[in-house]
Structure 1
Amino acid sequence: MRGGVLGASLAALIVTACASTPPLGPAPVREPRTEQRTASRPPAYRPPPTPRSAEPEVPTDRVLPLTGLRGWEGEDHAAALAAFRDACGAARDPALAQICRDARAIGPLDRDQSKRFFEAHFRAEQTHGEGVLTAYFAPEYPARHKADDEFTAPVRARPADLGDTSQTPYLDRTAIEALPAGKPLAWMRPEDLFFLQIQGSGVLTFDDGRRMKALYAGNNGRPFVGVANPMRDKGLLPADGISAEAIRAWLAAHRGPDADAIMRLNPRYAFFSLGLDDGKPPVGSANVPLPGGRSLAIDPGFHQMGELYWVDASSPILAGAFPAYRRLALALDTGGAIKGDVRADLFMGQGQAAGAEAGRVRHTLKLYRLVPKDAAP
């Protein structure tokens, strides 16, 4: 989970074009398919007959057909269906699990066929009110086996005396950083480690070319405190320029006591283990790899893992952001800063480009749950 496997959201750090869908960031890595491919066009998809009992209700403010969703016609439905097939095994609802099996049995469909598949199987139900969409990513950072003048922050393994932090919080960030480094897993630039701890996992590239995954191993149980508002209030960054990219650049430019003082405003501290980099995307709380641009971290108190959603997010507050995000995405992750019914964190993928985009996402969100048509409203 985020705040578990994937950390605590860039938006907690900082708490497309119109009707079109913006770029989805790096494509998710998929296992090679074994089915025989041909050059022939796939057979036309014909939606199954809809039983009378499953006829969609008359649309209201909160229940509507998929064709009534803003931006629906501009969606890349084939890409959305591919992501759904890859990750829908996480679905817990029996009706949704059956649609998952149907999608996997049919195999790849073209854009129009995929659109009709979704329309034949789902209706949309809007969650109450408006909320906030933010985004996160899996970072890649340089690291060293030994400390030097630039790589001064130790990547710490889980302490042997770290108990149940939900009952008894461990030392805060300032106290942990005052401890001897011991035998760290690696050394990083301080601002990079700070962001790795926010994201919760990532890939470290050492100077000998070796790549390792930094895997979340626990945290100190202290509350997460964003640094964006204090930086804005101190005049360190403008109100519309508190993106993650801008915060990291400021910390790098002021490396030393000034940057340390800002980072120590956040008492939460994450610990890691190292594993081989297998090239696959990170795994979220649903225990499936996260498709880039199609995965949401949500509040499990309001949503179930594997559910399918239509994201309609606009009115960004950060400079350089895409005007709107309108797309299908699956609930596959959670996050310590993701609380509430209309609150979601969109996984953008892995690497620098995904991080640059994720750091600018803070949009007003309308969230629609896609419900199987044979389910009770």
Structure 2
Amino acid sequence: MGLPGWNDDDHSAAFAAFRASCWAARAPGMAEVCRKAQALGSLDEARARAFFEVNFRVEAAPEEGVLTAYFAPEYDARSKPDAEFSAPLRARPADLVTVDAGMFDPAQAGNQGAAMNVLGDLLPYPDRAAIEDRRPEKVLAWMRPEDLFFLQIQGSGVLTFENGARVKANYAGNNGRRFVGIARPMQERGLLAAGDTSGEAIRGWLAAHRGAEAQEIMRLNPRYVFFKLSPDDGQQPVGSAGAPLPPGRAIAVDPARYSMGEVFWIDATAPVLTGAFPAYRRLALALDTGGAIKGQARADLYLGLGPEAGAEAGRVRHSLKMYRLVPRAAPNS
């Protein structure tokens, strides 16, 4: 296919991920390719590679962007608050109304927004600071503040309570505010070592300065996420496409640019964070979305469950070129 690094990918693993989730695809021509994959069963490396080369053509994104990564964290939680576990994991509030974001910002028309009904008027939903300053409507668990902050960034995770019970914390909505990363302002304030804005470094600083200092920094991001709990089944989380996320093969993309279930080749090099892998070149499936994932050459790579995946995800910030693999039967875009 002439793609950088194409010959070095594990096409058998990529085919397995495609076969398991292609039913969620809505892009033109994908249903027929999915039926072929389902009929074939598992394939070895050579046959899997041939499958993609025969059934897809390549369309390159016209611009260069950024690859980041995310994971499903595992955190301790408590059923009652204490000095350490002081942050409430809030359920979706009853007064949150989903609206078109263009209601408050015409530039965001077509995206999902949030509002609250005040005496018959729909007003923008409060930001992080205002939400944290009001009494929780329903508390699902109590967490360390920095853990809750990172759980909100990742969108889902697993919680372990003091009695050993494990549950999944699943995304249930957000306040419609724009996501603002805190790495840059922390670096500008000299709070992080030069060149180290990894997730590990940020979380370490927040934990070491738990209280008013850390809260001030976290409130630079006005976006707030609400959750719901479900039993921990030991499986990977489900993305926006409704399919489980295969680690290392699922990406979050901008839904205004791409459809769920589309197939991509990502070519990510030139990392800017210390300790990062030099490159990520692989087939990946668009199975999720994210508040900070906007643009034609922007993707967030899902790396799996737990601290090891989290350590890797926190170091991913690479220059990205994206190539869309379009079913040959689909019309040219």
Distance 1:206-1:238 versus aligned 2 partners, 3 A rule: same
1:353 aligns with 2:308: yes
In structure 1, which of residues 97, 104, 116 is the aligned counterpart of residue 38 of structure 2? 104
Which residue matches 1:88? Answer: 22
In structure 2, which of residues 266, 284, 290 is the aligned counterpart of residue 311 of structure 1? 266
Question: Letter of the aligned partner of 1:318 in structure 2?
Answer: L
Three-state SS of the structure 1 residue aligned to 2:267 is strand
Gaps of 5+ in 2: 99-113, 116-121
1:245 aligns with 2:200: yes
Which residue matches 2:291? Answer: 336
2 CA distance for matches of 1:196 and 1:93?
31
Report the more deviating stretch, 311-320 or 178-187. Answer: 178-187
In structure 2, which of residues 77, 88, 91 is the aligned counterpart of residue 143 of structure 1? 77
Does the 8 Å CA contact 2:248/2:304 hold for their aligned counterparts? Answer: yes
Which residue matches 1:373? Answer: 328
1 CA distance for matches of 2:254 and 2:183?
23
Q: How does 1:133-172 map to 2 (within 5 A)?
A: 133-164=67-98, 165-166=114-115, 168-172=123-127
Task: Kindly state the Cα deviation for residue 85 of structure 1 after the two structures are TM-superposed.
Answer: 0.2
Task: Kindly state the Cα deviation for residue 376 of structure 1 after the two structures are TM-superposed.
Answer: 3.9
1:129 aligns with 2:84: no
Which residue matches 1:62? Answer: none
Which residue matches 1:10? Answer: none
Question: Letter of the aligned partner of 2:74 in structure 1?
Answer: E
Task: Kindly state the Cα deviation for residue 130 of structure 1 after the two structures are TM-superposed.
Answer: 0.8
Report the more deviating stretch, 323-332 or 85-94. Answer: 85-94
Distance 1:374-1:215 versus aligned 2 partners, 3 A rule: closer
2 CA distance for matches of 1:374 and 1:267?
44
Task: Kindly state the Cα deviation for residue 355 of structure 1 after the two structures are TM-superposed.
Answer: 1.0
Question: Letter of the aligned partner of 1:158 in structure 2?
Answer: R
In structure 2, which of residues 253, 275, 278 is the aligned counterpart of residue 323 of structure 1? 278
Q: How does 1:26-45 map to 2 (within 5 A)?
A: none
Task: Kindly state the Cα deviation for residue 343 of structure 1 after the two structures are TM-superposed.
Answer: 0.8
2 CA distance for matches of 1:97 and 1:184?
42
Which residue matches 1:55? Answer: none
2 CA distance for matches of 1:199 and 1:169?
23
Give per-residue Cα distances to partners, 1:19-71, cap 9 Å, x unaligned. xxxxxxxxxxxxxxxxxxxxxxxxxxxxxxxxxxxxxxxxxxxxxxx1x1111
Report the more deviating stretch, 153-162 or 178-187. Answer: 178-187
Which residue matches 2:131? Answer: 176
Distance 1:183-1:70 versus aligned 2 partners, 3 A rule: closer
Which residue matches 1:52? Answer: none
Which residue matches 1:363? Answer: 318
Identity of aligned residues (%): 65
2 CA distance for matches of 1:80 and 1:98?
18
1 CA distance for matches of 2:96 and 2:10?
46
1:285 aligns with 2:219: no
2 CA distance for matches of 1:168 and 1:354?
39
Q: Which has the higher contact order (CA 8 A, sep 6+)?
A: 1
1:265 aligns with 2:220: yes
Three-state SS of the structure 1 residue aligned to 2:79 is coil
CA-atom RMSD in angstroms: 1.4
2 CA distance for matches of 1:366 and 1:183?
43
Gaps of 5+ in 1: 1-65
Distance 1:118-1:154 versus aligned 2 partners, 3 A rule: same
Report the more deviating stretch, 289-298 or 178-187. Answer: 178-187
Three-state SS of the structure 2 residue aligned to 1:82 is helix
Question: Normalised by the size of structure 1, how large is the TM-score?
Answer: 0.80
Three-state SS of the structure 2 residue aligned to 1:357 is helix
Does the 8 Å CA contact 2:24/2:243 hold for their aligned counterparts? Answer: yes
Task: Kindly state the Cα deviation for residue 181 of structure 1 after the two structures are TM-superposed.
Answer: 4.3
Query: Bigger radius of gyration, 1 or 2?
Result: 1
Give per-residue Cα distances to partners, 1:81-124, cap 9 Å, x unaligned. 00000011112234221111111101111111111111121221
Which residue matches 2:150? Answer: 195
Does the 8 Å CA contact 2:28/2:330 hold for their aligned counterparts? Answer: no
Three-state SS of the structure 2 residue aligned to 1:150 is coil
* Count of residues in Structure 1 that have an aligned counterpart in Structure 2: 311
Give per-residue Cα distances to partners, 1:328-356, cap 9 Å, x unaligned. 01111111211111111111111111111
